[in-house]
Amino acid sequence: MYKSSWINLGPANRRSSWPTGLNIFSFSENFEAIRLIGSPRFAARHFFEPGDGSNSYYVPCFGYRSKTQEFFESETCPACRIGLEPKVFLSCNAIIRSIQKDKPSKLELETPSEKGFRDKNDPSWTPVRVIEIPATSIASIGEIEKQNTHRLKGVEVTKGVEDTKYGRDLMVALVRNPKFTKYEIKSGKVSPLSDEELLFLKFDLSTIPNLGNSQKPESLHYEAKNRLAALLKANKLAGRK
């Protein structure tokens, strides 16, 4: 049933793989210190198992708008129509501290491509990777951000965890149990970006397939109600057959 639904899709809408230009970091059950850099991007995708012995793969959810972080029209997404649950997640560039620690003594300088972004196949060294955090685990980043207050000119100010000057590291680990896999996220130390770190090239998150690709969220600050609405709608969609 799934298969015939997808065959009906035009080739332009059918993607057999997630964008390959991004170097996605895989977290383990050990806490990893990371430093978010730049703006995050929200997206939604479906895990698609063809059921005919061929490999499973991700397809973008065409009913999700990154800009507003909302499901706006489930009927436009063939995967939603057949009752596959969309999963919302956040992508962001991040410096992976353990990789940074192993910096080679002899360094090849990063050579920006025409667009000024990093590509997975670039030969030069970088500690920058793209991290993916499921929407269900994002709330803890918001909690850490609330605590990230700094006294500036006598006034207490809350700063984003990705702030170049007042941001901080995050400690991230996978928690696996038989029922689910989730991310545990703890606060790390305040870590202003060094001159070298400010120059690291980022991966181009706008290549993540979704609607409104030209739009990027401005910062990690997001409305909790948007997030909840998206999750509620996602759950509702999951219940539809």
Give the footprint of Zn ion on this chain (CB under 5 A). 61, 63, 77, 79-80, 86
Tell me the closest approach of the beta carbon of residue 24 to Zn ion, in angstroms: 21
CA dihedral 201, 207, 211, 213 (to 10 degrees): 40
Q: Which is nearer to Zn ion, 77 or 220 (CB)?
A: 77
> Amino acid identity of 154?
G
Tell me the closest approach of the beta carbon of residue 62 to Zn ion, in angstroms: 6
Tell me the closest approach of the beta carbon of residue 44 to Zn ion, in angstroms: 7
Q: Which is nearer to Zn ion, 7 or 109 (CB)?
A: 7
Q: Which is nearer to Zn ion, 66 or 93 (CB)?
A: 66
Q: Which is nearer to Zn ion, 79 or 128 (CB)?
A: 79
Tell me the closest approach of the beta carbon of residue 20 to Zn ion, in angstroms: 22
Q: Which is nearer to Zn ion, 80 or 208 (CB)?
A: 80
Tell me the closest approach of the beta carbon of residue 14 to Zn ion, in angstroms: 14
Tell me if residue 7 falls in helix, strand or coil: helix
Cα–Cα distance measured from residue 22 to residue 25, given in angstroms and rounded to the nearest whole number: 9
- Counting beta carbons within 10 angstroms of the beta carbon of residue 138, is it exposed (0 to 12), middle (13 to 18) or buried (19 or more)? buried
Cα–Cα distance measured from residue 140 to residue 93, given in angstroms and rounded to the nearest whole number: 18
Report how far apart, in Å, the C-alpha atoms of 198 and of each of 35, 36, 108, 178, 206 are: 12, 12, 17, 40, 20
Handedness of CA 96, 99, 101, 103 (dihedral sign): negative
